[in-house]
Amino acid sequence: MKLVLALALGFTLAGNGQTVRKPFEARSLSTVSLANNALRTTNVTFEVIRDRLLLRTTTSSMVILDEAGSQATTKLEAWPLGTSLALKPLYTIQASGTGGHTVDGALFVIDRGLEDVEWWSVYQLRTGKHLFDTYVPLVGFSISRETLERRYLGLEIPPDDAKDARLKQPNVVGVVTYLSADSVKREALLTCDDPKQAQLLRSYADSTRTLSLTDEIPPNAFRIQISQNAPSPANPVAVTIGLAGDDLDLTHAVLPQGLHVALWKR
């Protein structure tokens, strides 16, 4: 099927200063095919966000029928609204992933969980900059009743081959990220005195993680819970970190014995 976008772009009418856009049309082809037991799909969507950016998201995937796993790539291209799509985009984001979506017209999130591990990469829509990765769904909220200004939380669990040598230390559990639409505002490193427990808490295969806000509006804290997967007993470990003003309140964090949280910066 073909996806068609027709928008008005371009000149100013005399007299009242009203902007009228010159018409243009952009077409992108979505396809599906099956050959030699390989199912291939390409899906294309358009979206316009409040910063007057035109976004084109292309998700391509291949699945071998009757076999586990898949291959998928998500690409985001952005142009100033009114620019021909024949021209080079402002930026292009491309990563392995099963799809992507915008958040509050400010962030773009790619679902990277192609295999058994669920994780997401978060990008700034205005510039295409990669902000961080999270191994829990991104959580967003307003910082007060009086404003719509949004903040976001995520939790990164570093892989064994993390590029930052500090994240390879045996006591590391993960990194909490607190950000706005413009930048990462604060990061905090979660560690455990017992290296064996730290390894278990950050294990992709053996543990499941959640991040949730308190019910107050605006929320005054958030809770990270890490539980062991079956057939092991759940043995949940909970960490509660406060939100003070527009920052993390690490001083009053509530943690089980042997766990610690401290400011950290990439």
Q: Of 89, 104, 128, which residue constitutes the final position of a domain?
A: 128
Q: Are 76 and 56 in contact (CB under 8 A)?
A: yes
The tokens for 213 are: 């806000």
231: tokens are 């057939």
Looking at the structure, tell me whether residues 187 and 117 fall in a common domain.
no
For 162, residues 6+ apart whose C-beta sits below 8 A from its C-beta are 168
Q: Rounded to 5 degrees, what angle do the CA atoms 202, 203, 209 make?
A: 65
Asked if pLDDT for residue 4 goes beyond 50, the answer is no
Exposure class string for 216-251: b at 16+ Cβ within 10 A, else e? eeebebbebbbbbeeeeeeeebebebbbeeeebebe
Q: Are residues 156 and 237 in the same domain?
A: yes
What pLDDT is attached to residue 7? 45
pLDDT tens sequence across 94-103: 999 999 999 9
Query: Do 230 and 236 form a contact (C-beta atoms < 8 A)?
Result: no
Residue 133 inside a domain? The answer is no
Amino acid symbol at 75 = K
pLDDT tops 70 at residue 13: no
Rg (CA), the chain: 22
- Is the confidence at residue 1, as pLDDT, over 70? no
* The model scores a pTM over 0.85: yes
Give the pLDDT of residue 20.
Answer: 54
Q: Classify residue 48: in a domain, yes or no.
A: yes
Phi, psi of 201 (to 5 degrees): -65, -30
pLDDT in tens, 178-208: 999 989 999 999 999 999 999 999 999 999 9
Helix (H, G, I), strand (E, B) or coil at 250: strand
With 80 as the cut, is the pLDDT of residue 251 above it?
A: yes
Mean pLDDT (whole number) for 87-113: 95
Residue 118 and residue 148 share a domain = no
Q: Are residues 85 and 176 in the same domain?
A: no
The domain tally of the chain equals 2
Domain holding 152, by residue range, is 139-266
pLDDT band at 17 (very low <50, low <70, confident <90, very high): low
CA nearest to 258, candidates 200, 199, 193? 193
| Planar angle of CA 212, 218, 221, nearest 5 degrees | 40
Residues paired with 216 in a beta bridge = none
Please indicate, yes or no, whether residues 14 and 66 belong to a single structural domain of this protein: yes
Mean pLDDT of the chain: 89
In a domain, 51, yes or no: yes
Domain boundary among 79, 108, 128: 128
* Under 8 Å between Cβ of 242 and 224: no
What 3-state class would DSSP assign to 166?
helix
Give residue for tokens 């390894």.
199
Sorted by sequence, the CB contacts under 8 Å of residue 129 that are 6+ apart come out as: 123
Q: Can you tell me the mean pLDDT for 58-81? A: 89
If asked whether residues 154 and 245 sit together in one domain, one would say yes
Q: Are residues 8 and 71 in the same domain?
A: yes
- Domain shared by 120 and 153, yes or no: no
Domain annotation covers residue 257 = yes
Return the higher-pLDDT residue of 221 and 18. Answer: 221
Query: Does residue 148 have a pLDDT over 90?
Result: no
Say whether both 102 and 209 belong to one domain.
Answer: no
DSSP annotation of 148: -
* CA pair distance 149, 141, nearest whole angstrom: 8
**Percentage, residues of the chain above pLDDT 70:** 91
User: Is the confidence at residue 131, as pLDDT, over 60?
Assistant: yes
d(CA 85, CA 26): 7
Q: Which two tokens stand for residue 216?
A: 């107050």
The pLDDT score that the predictor gives to residue 114 is: 74
